[in-house]
Amino acid sequence: MSRVACIGAGTVGRAWAVVFARAGYDVALNDAIAGEVERTAIPGARRTLELLAENGLLSEDVETVVARIRPAGSIAEAVTDVVFVQESVREDVAVKREVFSEIAAHAPADTILASSTSAIPGSDFLTHFAHPERALVVHPVNPPSLIPLVELCGTGTTSPETIAAARQLMTEAGMRPIVLKKEIDGFILNRLQFTLVAEALHLVGEGYCTPEDIDAVLTYGLALRWASIGPFEVAHLNAPDGLQGFVNRLGPMMRQLGAAARTDYDWTEEQIASAHAQLAERIPLDTIADRQAWRDQQILALRQLKQQALG
């Protein structure tokens, strides 16, 4: 069976290990903190696999899949003899450059090298080593073990063959890749997400509504549609004559609200502290782990519903 390596075994790295192990790969999992993989990452991966099994989303028994995830004591040891490397170390361009120098020095020359970066363009840290044509960003949504979308974004030097191979590997591993046509920082998901978050901070900060109201607008409103159809299809279905008819009717409002949105809103520390206090009252900090488990269960229930709807 083919081997892959996951470098960085935090929140995202351990979830990637689940994705690859479930797809049948042997996974070498490495972290800079000695013992972290054995102590927290593998037990965490096991809990996720149990959750997948309870929801009928695992075709093998949990221990068979967990056994494919093995700790690797160094990057060199992890990447020897692998077909794919997924880096998930902390979001710091200098750290990522250093880690990729190490990965590229020890991985086979044709191994695909991928980064989970949330927002740093790959051109900033994926071109300074031998064979940069094999490197790209494969940005997941947390946790990739439960949410299938991945954004593939090459640098100016990434080869089309690398993009095609990464797309195929991701698809076969049960993910849903999109490929960016051009490089842009933040890629697509986080540009959309933080545009909305910026306007939410503006609306709360200027006293139009509470953080709870914003969350309700999404979970009882927009996201009920967005779980099945995105904003383009929403518009297309909201007029009998499709997107063109929708824009003919509401284009002026769309332009006006788009221009008025305060994505540059200069929120203050006090506003964040106040929003945090309101959230901590609703979801006390010592219940966050339970609430995360509830969130994961909700995501899986929604995925099953979508699966049934697709037949």
Ligand X SMILES: NC(=O)c1ccc[n+]([C@@H]2O[C@H](COP(=O)([O-])OP(=O)(O)OC[C@H]3O[C@@H](n4cnc5c(N)ncnc54)[C@H](O)[C@@H]3O)[C@@H](O)[C@H]2O)c1
Contact residues toward ligand X (CB under 6 A) are 7-13, 30-33, 36, 88-91, 95, 99, 116-118, 139-140, 142
User: Between residues 115 and 162, which has the closer beta carbon with respect to ligand X?
Assistant: 115
User: Between residues 33 and 273, which has the closer beta carbon with respect to ligand X?
Assistant: 33
Nearest distance from C-beta of residue 232 to ligand X, angstroms: 24
Nearest distance from C-beta of residue 35 to ligand X, angstroms: 11
DSSP 273: H
Contact 58, 99 (CB under 8 A): no
User: Between residues 117 and 155, which has the closer beta carbon with respect to ligand X?
Assistant: 117
Nearest distance from C-beta of residue 16 to ligand X, angstroms: 9
User: Between residues 146 and 235, which has the closer beta carbon with respect to ligand X?
Assistant: 146
Q: Which residue has the tokens 């979308």?
A: 149
Contact 117, 180 (CB under 8 A): no
Contact 7, 75 (CB under 8 A): yes
Q: What is the DSSP string of 45-100?
A: HHHHHHHHHHTT--SS-HHHHHTTEEE-SSHHHHHTT-SEEEE---S-HHHHHHHH
User: Between residues 90 and 276, which has the closer beta carbon with respect to ligand X?
Assistant: 90
Nearest distance from C-beta of residue 5 to ligand X, angstroms: 11
Per-position b or e across 53-70, b if 16+ CB within 10 A of its CB: eebebbeeebeebbebbb
Residue with smallest beta-carbon separation from ligand X: 10
Question: For 42, what's the count of Cα atoms within 13 Å in the CB-facing half-sphere?
Answer: 19
Nearest distance from C-beta of residue 179 to ligand X, angstroms: 17
Contact 155, 135 (CB under 8 A): yes
